[in-house]
């Protein structure tokens, strides 16, 4: 399996309430071992997955939001967040966790993984993929 494909994981659901977000992240982590060209997209309520300060104590469900910050260690460094989805929910980029990766092609400089893009740009990102997994 030397072929490299562009994989996009599309996250549309809030982090809790349903299991889609958690099980999407599990695919991303396993998939990282296959050394494909991986991107993640966050739109609709999926933008809530990246919000900072999540506290799940009251609902008795594991808080997995810290795992997003480890994605850089798995060479998952492209997290596209749709600006319109943030706007529609009264969120800004400042409400999201700081997620970074170390760029091996730039003397391991720490760079942000999250890129806020417009809905039109998101459509282009989706169109350029080989495999799109929607969660």
Residues contacting 55, CB < 8 A, separation 6+: 63
Select the span of 42-50, 79-87, 107-115, 125-133 touching another protein (CB under 8 A): 125-133
Residue 96 is classified by DSSP as B
Interface with another protein, residue 126, by CB under 8 A? no
Residue of 15, 20, 85, 118 that binds another protein (CB under 8 A): 20
Write down the least CB distance from residue 71 to another protein, Å.
16
Write down the least CB distance from residue 112 to another protein, Å.
26
Contact, 81 vs 116, CB < 8 A?
yes
Contact, 38 vs 7, CB < 8 A?
yes
Interface with another protein, residue 128, by CB under 8 A? no
The Cα 12–Cα 99 span in angstroms is 19
Residue of 59, 61, 109, 131 that binds another protein (CB under 8 A): 131
Interface with another protein, residue 109, by CB under 8 A? no
Return the ∠ at Cα 36 (arms to 35 and 37), rounded to 5°. Answer: 125
Interface with another protein, residue 14, by CB under 8 A? no
Given the rule CB under 8 A, which residues bind another protein? 1, 3, 5, 7, 19-20, 23, 26-27, 30-31, 33-34, 36, 130-135
């Amino acid at each position: 399996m030397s072929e490299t494909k562009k994989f996009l994981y599309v996250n549309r659901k809030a982090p809790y309430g349903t299991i889609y977000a958690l099980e999407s992240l599990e695919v991303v982590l396993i998939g990282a071992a296959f050394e494909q060209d991986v991107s993640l997209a966050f739109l609709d309520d999926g933008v809530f997955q990246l919000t900072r300060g999540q506290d799940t104590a009251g609902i008795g469900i594991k808080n997995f939001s810290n795992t997003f910050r480890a994605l850089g260690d798995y060479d998952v460094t492209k997290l596209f967040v749709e600006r319109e989805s943030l706007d529609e929910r009264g969120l800004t980029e400042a409400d999201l966790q700081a997620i970074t990766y170390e760029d091996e092609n730039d003397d391991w400089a720490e760079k942000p993984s999250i890129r806020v893009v417009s809905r039109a740009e998101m459509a282009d990102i989706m169109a350029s993929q080989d495999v799109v997994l929607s969660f």
